[in-house]
Amino acid sequence: MARDVARRLARWAFDDLGLARVRWAAYVGNTASRKVAESAGFVIEGTARQGLVQRGVRRDAWLGSMLPADLARAEAGGSAHVRKIQGWPTEPVQLRSDRLLLRPSRGDDAPALLAYAQDPLAGIWDPEETPDLDAARDRARRRADWSSGDIAVWVIADPADTAIWGGIQIFDVDAPSLCAVTGYGLMPEARGSGYAAEALRTVTAWAFTETSLHRIALMHAVGNAASCAVATASGYQLEGVMRQSHRFGDGELHDNHLHARLRTDPAPSTAADGAWS
């Protein structure tokens, strides 16, 4: 019903008013409104941070638009979207492995995010624009928003969720090619125990079991030996060197290793492999 009304209004806007584009917005989390908009033919374009005001409070907003071609496709029964990754979540998913809890980001993670951004090693290999606590809060809130369908971000915590050990994400999800990219980092006090590899094996096993993702790539500077060891221990094969492909936190262009794991690759043989709940 709401879908049909939205389509008729859009048809009137295009045909009678001569408009070229109709915009749509809703507060982040209003999934029902988003579903109506998508089925009417709107294409979601992203999240406008604090883009709408509700009762005097600024809130994040989903934005979308419809062009005449989108409406024509929707009216013809087609989808306005490229193929989706089957099973890919738009709401956060929590995972567990032997020694880790991988949970969604929360606002009270901000101090840990700020501490990570100030760590010298992270500042070189995984630099983040997080100058103060407000920026960290903003990042924590954005990391909890998986609604774009092209990113999943987990906080790496101890099983009782009393300490934050790091973070890991799968991002740049490319639906037509069933590809994505992964990256991770640990707080200094959590390094040296193999937690990054355990987290990587866990999210990889989840992605290849619960979604139709086919390939996950991983890039790190050739000089980042710890990251190379994490990739190798997690079954991400080295595919080559990308020469001077990324500027890191030291301001220099570095050669990068390209690693990747395919869903058809053999899983690395460790106790923690694929163990999530």
Ligand X SMILES: CC(C)(COP(=O)(O)OP(=O)(O)OC[C@H]1O[C@@H](n2cnc3c(N)ncnc32)[C@H](O)[C@@H]1OP(=O)(O)O)[C@@H](O)C(=O)NCCC(=O)NCCS
Interacting residue ranges for ligand X, rule: CB under 6 A? 121-122, 125-126, 183-186, 191-197, 220, 224-227, 229-230, 233
- Residue with smaller CB distance to ligand X, 146 or 248: 248
Residue 50 CB contacts under 8 Å (≥ 6 apart), including other chains? 58, 59, 60
Which CB atom, from 90 or from 232, has the smaller least distance to ligand X? 232
* Shortest Cβ 132–ligand X spacing (Å): 21
CB of 94 to ligand X, least distance (A): 21
Give whichever of 60 and 126 is closer to ligand X, judged by the CB atom.
Answer: 126
Say how many C-beta atoms besides its own lie within 10 A of residue 182's C-beta. Answer: 25
Q: Which is nearer to ligand X, 51 or 194 (CB)?
A: 194
Kindly tell me which of 180 and 230 has the beta carbon lying closer to ligand X: 230
The three-state secondary structure class of 153 is strand
Minimum CB separation of residue 191 from ligand X in Å reads: 3
Output the smallest distance, CB 247 to ligand X, in A: 14
Alpha-helix residue ranges (DSSP H) falling in the chain: 2-15, 31-40, 68-75, 110-118, 120-125, 133-143, 195-210, 225-233
DSSP 233-274: HTT-EEEEEEEEEEE-TTS-EEEEEEEEEETTSPPP--TTTT
DSSP, collapsed to helix, strand or coil, labels residue 185 as strand
Residues 6+ apart with CB under 8 A from 163: 157, 190
Looking at the Cβ atoms of 64 and 183, the one nearer to ligand X is: 183
> Which residues partner with 36 through β-bridges?
none
Question: Encoding tokens for residue 25?
Answer: 């917005």
- How far from chain centre, in Å, is Cα 12? 37
